[in-house]
Structure 1
Amino acid sequence: MNSQLLHRQEKLPKKLPKCTNQAQFNLKQKVMKIGIITLPFNWNYGGILQTYALQSALKKLGHDSYTINRNTAPMSLKMKVLSYVRRSILKVLFRKDVVVRTWPTKEEEKTIRQHTDRFIQENVKTTDLFRSEKDFKNIGKYDFQAFVTGSDQVWRPKYSPVLENHFLGFLPKDSQAKRIAYAASFGVDNWEFSGRQTEACASLAQKFDTISVREDSAVELCKDKLNVESIVALDPTMLIDKEEYIALVEKDKIPKLKGSLLNYILDLTPDKKKIVDEAAEELKIKPVSIMPKGIFREMGKKRLEDCVCPPVTNWLRGFMDAEFVVTDSFHGTVFSIIFNKPFIAIGNAKRGITRFSSLLKILGLEDRLVLGYQDNISEMIKTPIDYQKVNTLLEGKKKEALQFLENSLNVN
């Protein structure tokens, strides 16, 4: 491994061992029980699949991993009251046809998540449910020998109520467990931590054995704000072959979708719809969506069935069958690449563009990223992607990432 893998711990550098003989390396390998810290499960397909893929990759390396199963942070009472009052006023005074209660009950959420929860139960090994962040105090009962933080936006404060837990702040001071960050993401290229969070998380980050991040901008943030070295690693979903995803779809007997222009748009705008419409016209193919028909805050309890998230394997089938993909999702972009589909990725400033640009730069696909409708969209739609070149680059990065994980788990 190169000198970038030097990591500061108490201001003394630690270097990952270089593995040149795979057979010799495997003889020395120690099977470890690993705890994975990522964002709480919800109905986010990319979040679910990156956890599945990381566990699959660790299993292939000979290790046994469990994802910490956590509740999402509930909407605060203050926000519920403000939302309820505001929408009640709109409904009464302006006769607006709006949903007054914008958050689902536990039973309604269970209905919405029925398919995604089933996928997790069948395909992801988890701990018992941690009902709150305080439950991390009980993690010792699992006897984990290593912890992996990542991937996804685990280091973005807005998604982490107790940010220090994503830096393994719950571990006792005398813990001997290995501490690894794999493809951890800040989500954006600017610093969002408070002064207190920066101080606390910098101290914790310096206890990590190795750190990899998902975006090149994160390398600088780690160095400048946390005083640690890091390298860029692939999102976990790219560590396993597409055939493994296809096998999941076939196991669930998901039928072919009716349409081959995959429209996976999280935040629909007129600009984005215009791109989808132009692709449909240019390619003479029918758009298809793999999203639920609506979201609860817009549909409410009366249209709960329209809010049910389709199965994860239905989502995967969309990429399998697509002739072309238009998406504003990071993982939508990732799975377009995994399945070698021509695509247009629409950057989303609110959700973070650096995630897109960093990945596409690595694979020589920067020209597939747009920030909205532009004059050359028609030309982009017609221009093929050289996936032979992309796959060669991807395979190289995949080997590097797996080697990082191997070495990190076996470093003394």
Structure 2
Amino acid sequence: MAVKIATITFHMARNYGALLQCFALQKAIQNLGYRSEVLDYDCKQISKGYNLVNFDSKLSFIKSLLLFPFFYRKKKRYDRFIKRYISVSQRYDYHELARAARDYVAFITGSDQVWNYKLTGGDSTYFLDFVPDHRKRLSYAASFGIKEIPEERNGFYQKNLEGMGHLSVREKTAAAMIKQLCGRRAEVVLDPVFLQTAEQWRTIMPKKREKGYVFVYMPGKHTLKCAADLARRKGLTIIFCAYDISLRKFKQNIGDIRLSLGPDEFLSLLDGADYVVTGSFHATAFSLILQKRFFVEVPPKVGSRITDLLDSFDLRDRIFNGAGALEDREIDWSKVEQRMNHLRQQSLTSLRRSIEAAVHG
């Protein structure tokens, strides 16, 4: 019977990147010859952000009721994707995790922003502190998602990072932060979505129907205006994959708004686009994998993960800031693919070696 490896990440978040990277890491582990399950752990700080009805304010409550049918359909499509494509463990709450430590040979935390205290509320579970044997605590492409650690949090991070076995992170900035915090070296590897090829990703996509559009996702301050201008100049429509609609700023509700996409539908629409205009790390990553012409507006506070990614492919010229029209410069896709294949093999080698060291001691 194959050795069982557990991963822990934000698998219940209704966020496209979070679930697709979760799927990709599990597939990569399985392709290395191991059994893999995602720990069905519910971090309350994460899950509360995905309640179908929002009680934060009267306006939020009314808005969530109006959009409830869309959000409900989206939840069902996420649930369907998980059931079809991801192997999930039994449910564990915080006090049951010690039992999980006996059920698997090694544990991997990551990818995504599992070490972002703002998202997790400082949940040390994502440092695998429930696993007694430190050698069994691995990270793969873990991310802080923030530029710097507040001084009052240094102790928390130092203690938990020192308790890890093998360390690998997604960004150069994360490796530098770890070096500064505790003096340890962390390998820099690709986000799990890069461990699957374009052909492998297309096997889970539904058939494409729409044509001639700009795909917009997670817009920044200037994204919608620039995307609208690009679509007008190119004679294209806009498909806007949105998390909600604005009841106050109606000009933000541009194009054909899709509120209920599942992860596979999101991927299919991105793949069918003439252009992708986004402020998202994972939309940028999939644009590279699927060789889509893209432009990215880097978020001001969490943008290092995007700039580090673009630096890996020498593509900082895809960044825009709202000054002038988007310039449709050609991308040397053969160069991108060659670089991606090289980094993919390096990353898979790192993953394989870290698991082997944990399994064989």
Change in 2 beyond 3 A, CA 1:307/1:396: closer
Residues 279-334 of structure 1: per-residue CA shift (max 9 Å, x gap): 11232222222335638999xxxxxxx99521222101112211111011110101
Decide whether aligned partners of structure 1 residues 194 and 68 sit closer, same or farther in structure 2, where only a CA change above 3 A counts. Answer: farther
Alignment of 1:227-238 (within 5 A): 227-238=183-194
Match of 1:362 in 2: 312
CA deviation digits over 1:199-257, x for unaligned, max 9? 244233223331111111111110111332112110000001111111111xxx44422
- How many residues are matched? 343
Distance 1:178 1:110 in 2: 38
Aligned residue type for 1:278: D
User: Which residue of structure 2 lines up, in the alignment, with residue 123 of structure 1?
Assistant: 85
1:373 aligns with 2:322: yes
Cα 1:214/1:127, change in 2 over 3 Å: same
- Rate the CA distance shift 1:373–1:166 in 2: closer, same or farther, 3 A: same
Residue matched to 1:4: none
Please say which structure displays the higher CA radius of gyration. Answer: 1
**Which of 114, 131, 153 is the matching residue for 1:171?**
131
Between the aligned partners of 1:57 and 1:139, the Cα distance in structure 2 is 22
Matching residue of 1:401: 347
SS at match of 2:331: coil
Q: Is the 8 A contact 2:10 2:114 kept in 1?
A: yes
Superposed CA deviations along residues 59-98 of structure 1, whole A, max 9, x for unmatched, are: 111111111123352659xxx99933xx4xxxxxxxxxx3
Q: Deviations over 1:13-55 (max 9, x none)?
A: xxxxxxxxxxxxxxxxx95311101124121010000010001
Find out whether 1:226 has 2:187 as its counterpart.
Answer: no
Partner Cα separation in structure 2 for residue 192 and residue 126 of structure 1: 34
Q: Any residues of structure 2 matched to 1:92-241 within 5 Å, and which?
A: 98-100=59-61, 111-130=73-92, 132-140=93-101, 143-172=103-132, 175=133, 178-192=136-150, 194-195=152-153, 198-241=154-197
Describe the shift of the 1:72–1:193 C-alpha distance in structure 2 as closer, same or farther (beyond 3 A): farther
Q: Is the 8 A contact 2:214 2:237 kept in 1?
A: yes
How far is 1:345 from its partner? 0.7
Q: Which runs of 5+ in 2 are unaligned?
A: 250-256
8 Å Cα contact 2:116/2:122 also seen in 1: no
Contact 2:143 2:171 in 1 (8 A): yes
Deviation of 1:409 after TM superposition, in Å, equals 1.2
Tell whether 2:26 aligns with 1:55.
yes
State whether residues 213 and 238 of structure 2, in contact with CA within 8 Å, keep that contact through their aligned partners in structure 1: yes
Change in 2 beyond 3 A, CA 1:308/1:60 = same
Partner residue in 1 for 2:254: none
Partner of 2:274: 323
Amino acid in the other structure paired with 2:232:
E
Q: Is the Cα contact below 8 Å between 1:222 and 1:230 reproduced in 2?
A: yes
DSSP 3-state at the match of 1:113: helix
What code does the residue aligned with 2:99 have?
N
CA RMSD, 1 decimal = 2.9
For the residue of structure 2 that corresponds to 1:36, the secondary structure is strand
Q: Indicate the SS of the match to 2:141.
A: strand
Change (3 A) 1:293 1:158: closer
**Could you tell me which amino acid in structure 1 is paired with residue 350 of structure 2?**
F
Structure 2 match to 1:410: 356
Partner of 1:7: none
Instruction: Provide TM-score, normalisation by structure 2.
Output: 0.86
Cα pair distance change 1:99/1:151, threshold 3 Å: closer
What is the percentage of aligned positions where both structures have the same residue?
26
For residues 73 and 241 of structure 2, what CA distance do their matches in structure 1 show?
18
Match of 1:390 in 2: 336
User: Residue type matched to 2:3 in 1?
Assistant: M
Q: What SS does the aligned partner of 2:215 have?
A: strand
Q: Label 1:343 to 1:182 Cα distance change in 2 as closer, same or farther (>3 A).
A: same
Q: Secondary structure at the match of 2:56?
A: helix
Q: Which secondary structure does the structure 2 equivalent of 1:401 belong to?
A: helix
| Conservation of the 8 A alpha-carbon contact between 1:65 and 1:125 | yes
Q: Does 1:260 align with 2:213?
A: yes
State the distance in 1 between where 2:88 and 2:247 align. Answer: 27
Q: Which amino acid aligns with 1:208?
A: M
Structure-1-length-normalised TM-score: 0.76
Measured in 2, the distance between the counterparts of 1:209 and 1:312 equals: 32
Deviations 1:331-366 (A, max 9, x none): 01011111101110111124x100100000011111
Which segments of 5 or more consecutive residues in structure 1 lack a partner in the other structure? 1-29, 88-97, 299-305
